[in-house]
Amino acid sequence: MLDDEKVVNRILEEFGLDKKKSHIINGHVPVELKKGETPIKCDGKLLVIDGGFSRAYQSKTGIAGYTLVANSHGMRLVAHEPFESTESAILHESDIFSDSTVVETVPARIRVSETDIGAELRETIKQLEQLLAAYRDGIIVEK
């Protein structure tokens, strides 16, 4: 079912989401990268990730987990190599190695004004302007 784009499209439609721009993020699911499995499914509409650095899954998955990075530039998945120990990192002067995969880039950056938060901010501004007008008109007086 995770590889069936028709199912993914139906889920997106059920929630009233645009299937050309929307994504389903399914977390806490180990991806067996070492067996060739990919976390990016259905042309990028479904992302199956395990964000934890759980040692229990590392022998099964081959990695330590994923981080999903989403911002106004787009989305990318970062796969992390297992972290041995603090002692080893200091001794070998090593860090966690991560490999980044671009899932989606947007042709024009999304601005706050174009989001749900932007709509909320516009409404708050409108209410504050009404409050200020009421104060200036003497409807609301200072105590």
User: Distances in Å between the alpha carbon of 103 and those of 6, 37, 47, 60, 72?
Assistant: 20, 16, 9, 24, 13
pLDDT category of residue 1 using cuts at 50, 70 and 90: confident
pTM, to two decimals: 0.71
Q: Are strands 65-71 and 74-80 parallel, antiparallel or unpaired?
A: antiparallel
| Each residue's pLDDT tens digit, 54-86 | 677 776 777 878 889 999 899 999 988 887 788
Give me the mean pLDDT over the 93-122 stretch. 90
More confident residue, 113 or 60: 113
Q: How far apart are CA 46 and CA 26, in angstroms?
A: 7
